[in-house]
Amino acid sequence: MTITDALTFTATALVSLGGGGVIVFALSSWLGRVWASRILEQDRAKYQEELERVRGDRERSVFVHRIQFEAEFRGYQEVWKTLSSIVAKTFAFRPLLDYAPKDKTREEVKKGRLEEFWSEYSSLQEVIRQHKPFLASDLDSHWEGILQALREEAIDYDHVNESDKRQSWEDRKKNLEAIRRHTDRICEAIRERVGLLVLIDEK
């Protein structure tokens, strides 16, 4: 092999390797851009999803001033306290083992229970009326529902037919289930509403 042949072979090899290097470099650059683009797209999708979640939470939240927050929260506390008391009295209308004190007849016991009930019923109506402007309008139907359920049990108890025990207990069961259902709904509605309230820093 002459020097000319050797130089030609070397040049050819270098050109071949150089060309391959260029191809490898080009492929590496292209692959790097593809992966970078994919990672960027994944991050963009993830951050977009997080942004939508935060935006949704913000939209669902209700931003209020301290005075409004305290008025609404206090209203729920007072309504719930009065409601809990009257529900307890309503559930005690027709206990499984009823009795009358020696100095009172069964009719007198019934009359006393109903008088206490209607007094607290009026108090509940008044508390709801006083706080209604400050309470969420979503609860309006719940107030109407619980008042009706309480009223129906009181009326049934007042006109109970002692000769038909079975019907009396069926009416009681139906009424108490309705009262319990409305009370649970009110509890959940209040919890949800309070959870949505976000106090604005007024400084």
pLDDT per residue over 179-188, tens digit each? Answer: 999 999 999 9
Q: In this structure, what are the phi and psi dihedrals at residue 164, rounded to the nearest 5 degrees?
A: -120, 80
78 plus 132 within the same structural domain:
yes
Given 22, 43, 60, the domain boundary residue is 60
pLDDT tens, residue by residue, 78-129: 999 999 999 999 988 887 776 667 778 888 888 998 999 999 999 999 999 9
55 plus 22 within the same structural domain:
yes
Residue-range definition of the domain harbouring residue 43: 1-60
- The number of domains in the chain is 2
93 plus 188 within the same structural domain:
yes
pLDDT tens, residue by residue, 127-167: 999 999 999 888 999 999 999 999 999 998 888 766 666 77
